[in-house]
Amino acid sequence: MTKVDFGAKFDSCLRYVQLSKINLKGNSKVTALSFCSDDESWRVLEKDVQSLLQQGLTDRTKMIRVLWRSTPSEWNIMDGFSEFGSSPLIVGVMLSLLEKSYSLVDIGPNPENRDEAIKFRKFWGEKAELRRFKDGAIAESTVWETETWERHTIIKRIADYVLTKHLLLRQEDLTHVVDQLDFCLLVGGQDPVSSSGALLEAFDTLAKQLRLLDDVPLKISTVQPLDSAFRHTSVFPPEPHPLAYEKSSQRLPNFAATCVRSLEVMIQLEGSGNWPLDPVAMEKTKSAFLLRIGESLEDRGMFVTASEDEVNVLTSGYSFLLKIFHERGLVVQKQAGDSNIQSAPSEDKELFFRSQHSSMINGLHGIYQAYGPVVRLAKRWISAHLFSSFISEEAVELVAAYLFLRPFPFHAPSSRVTGFLRFLRLLSSFDWTFSPMIVDINNDFNLKDEKEINENFMLSRRSYEQNPHDIEPAMFLATSYDKSSEAWTKQSPSKSVLKRIASYAKSSAELLTNLIIHGQSGQYTWECLYRTPLSNYDAVILLHKEKLCRPHHVLFPAEIPNGKLVIQGKPSNDFHPYMPLSKSVVRSLHDTRDKLLVNFDPTAYFLRDLKCAFPVTFKLWHDSIGGDAIGLTWESSKKRGRDEDDEAMLDPTSILKEVGDVGKGLVRSVHLLKAPKLE
């Protein structure tokens, strides 16, 4: 049984407080009711609100529910009638197609229809205007001009205008839950998704150039973007970098980011029987092709950084990382009758999964426009609570996709806040131990496929009776391209980590529900959803914010936790996230470009070095999107394995000092909160 409540059922919730003071005593229309406590009289105001909203929102909504619980549930007859009407009025709005719901213009009657035109102008007041449209028609209309990334607030603007105009409500007594979580997606007060058009144009330019290359031994047949920015699910899609344009470009501001993130692009070459079958030789051949492609693009005016490991192309303001996918390994594998493509080269297998995943998610976003914003909020939440190391972004996208594909008992969400609430509830309530999550995006599955998935799932759970704490994958996500949940969750999260994620999700869902229905109270605000308690870790590493590659993505600077200070470190002078661009730089543009750090992230390299230095000593919890704190939890002695490790753990401060030394220049301080348990 699934609880159906206002917060989860409706795409948007409006809440009006102080109705007893404003509507009942200050509005002549309502005072005509003589403050009768009869239910029918109290319902008149509900009907008026619903009528006004339906008239104002027209076909933008498919359902509006207004509820005013005028009698407090704890009301005592001895208190008299002073408390009547003190409860807020709640309005639930279910949106129709988003093309209609987020339309910028409401078209009214033709001015020749005099009575209807007068009625329209009376209702809309100063918002009404006479407009001529592209088809030559002239009609009364209202226009709600807004930035593209703010179009989800149009419903709020219309409802606010109508109710403040016709019911004399004060703006401060009105709360419309629509954009309260947008703060975690903004950079400089604006959503970077607004630059997605430039990104798609840059990719199209690159793809066209790649297909036109005629000096490469094999012609390029397919070019596919793999980064989440292209499927509208990146929390912070990259913005154009002034040094990533063609060599002739001179667009230089005063400062530019030192680090630029590359967007992965998959290339397929035309078929040939001359490819080597040996995996090492195959990878070397791919590298040779990529280097040749890089040279050709550089001859065409693009800026290329190349090595045997990777080739990055800087063009149109963005950096693209080129990868070659070779089907031959998969074809050989299928001929051998192995449908799980286990023996294919690891990179080809990964690219195959990512290619299939990107295509499906991109198609899903084309059907459900709210999907992208919901996933962005979900990914930001995962990272903010330091789960980045344990759950991939593809897994988050699939869990969110499940909400839209199987929304029962609801309709598919049409707003980001409602979708995010359902994501948190699904994450916390799904029976991960005994049920596979089947994500059938294209309705590909038949009974045979479902049987195969269930068999794979049962096979993964055979070890449950022997060791219920160590089953893998703990999160079983089945798709048409991955029926055994091998791609995204085979190694992580573990059962214990998944339990922790579910616990956090449950707590956040309860807080979010309370915020939607009752609003902020005291210290419990919308920001709390993205603040994680550092006291839940055994040790905490704080980083110098000014040494992160993207310090402007940090949501809340970490506070110093209560614990023993083990070590403090000074910031390094070798790295700065921003580089100055003076006029003299224009003359040496090539040298300045050489200072760009492509795909460099100090935090990622620090975590890699820690995992190498302490592979079984502790778990590392971090925020890959914008965090300046790393949580640390001691591993059990069973996982550490050796007796000498236990002896070393008797002095955890010495280990934490080594941690600080590994991150010298980046680590601000290290704090010990709990000593490890020795079993």
**Same domain as 393, residue 284:** no
**Same domain as 382, residue 350:** no
For 633-662, give one letter per residue: b (16+ CB within 10 A) or e.
Answer: bbbebeebeeeebeeebeebeebbeebbeb
Q: Quick check: is 114 in a domain?
A: no
Q: What is the pLDDT of residue 133?
A: 86
Q: What is the pLDDT of residue 427?
A: 96
β-strand 597-598 against 259-260: which pairing, if any?
parallel
Model confidence at 553, pLDDT cuts 50, 70, 90, reads very high
φ/ψ region of 641 (left if φ > 0, alpha if ψ in -120 to 50, else beta) reads left
**Same domain as 431, residue 294:** no
pLDDT at 82 over 70: no
pLDDT at 39 over 60: no
**Same domain as 386, residue 469:** yes
**Same domain as 449, residue 377:** yes
Q: What is the pLDDT of residue 337?
A: 45
Mean pLDDT for all residues in the chain: 86
3-state secondary structure of 112: coil
Element (H, E) at 108: none
Of 662, 657, 674, 558, which is closest to residue 603 (Cα–Cα)? 662
Model confidence at 480, pLDDT cuts 50, 70, 90, reads very high
3-state secondary structure of 401: helix
**Same domain as 647, residue 536:** yes
Q: What is the 3-state secondary structure (H, E, C) of 232-287?
A: CCCCCCCCCCCCCCCCCCCCCCCEEECEECEEEEEEEECCCCCCCCCHHHHHHHHH
Q: Quick check: is 337 in a domain?
A: no
Domain extent at residue 34: 6-104+144-179
Q: Pick from 88-92, 508-512, 649-653 the range whose average pLDDT is largest.
A: 508-512
Q: What is the pLDDT of residues 389-424, one digit of tens each?
A: 999 999 999 999 999 999 988 999 999 999 999 999
CATH code for the domain in which residue 559 is found: 3.30.70
Q: Quick check: is 228 in a domain?
A: yes
Model confidence at 274, pLDDT cuts 50, 70, 90, reads confident
Which tokens is 532 given? 């994680």
**Same domain as 295, residue 275:** yes
Of 182, 100, 194, 181, which is closest to residue 148 (Cα–Cα)? 194
User: Cβ atoms within 10 A of the Cβ of 607, count?
Assistant: 20
Q: Quick check: is 175 in a domain?
A: yes
Q: What is the pLDDT of residue 30?
A: 47
Of 553, 606, 556, which is closest to residue 577 (Cα–Cα)? 553
Task: List, in order, residues 6 or more apart from 136 with CB less than 8 Å away.
Answer: none
Q: What is the pLDDT of residues 506-520, one digit of tens each?
A: 999 999 999 998 888
**Same domain as 597, residue 486:** no
What number is the average pLDDT over the span 656-660?
A: 95
| Number of domains the chain is built from | 4
- Please count the residues of the chain: 679
**Same domain as 186, residue 171:** no
CATH code for the domain in which residue 321 is found: 3.30.460
Phi and psi angles of residue 147, each rounded to the nearest 5 degrees, phi first: -65, 155
Q: Quick check: is 678 in a domain?
A: no
Burial of residue 430 (number of CB atoms within 10 Å: 0-12, 13-18, 19+): middle
Whether the Cβ atoms of residue 161 and residue 131 lie closer than 8 Å to each other = no
pLDDT at 157 over 50: yes
Q: What is the pLDDT of residues 102-137, one digit of tens each?
A: 999 999 899 888 899 999 999 999 999 998 888 888
What is the rounded CA–CA span in Å between residue 285 and residue 264?
19
pTM (two decimals): 0.91
Whether the Cβ atoms of residue 631 and residue 647 lie closer than 8 Å to each other = no
**Same domain as 207, residue 165:** no
User: Cβ atoms within 10 A of the Cβ of 339, count?
Assistant: 11
Q: What is the pLDDT of residues 290-325, one digit of tens each?
A: 999 999 999 988 899 888 888 999 999 999 999 999
**Same domain as 80, residue 189:** no
pLDDT at 32 over 70: no
β-strand 255-257 against 174-177: which pairing, if any?
unpaired
**Same domain as 381, residue 355:** no
Q: What is the pLDDT of residues 589-618, one digit of tens each?
A: 667 778 889 999 999 999 999 999 999 899
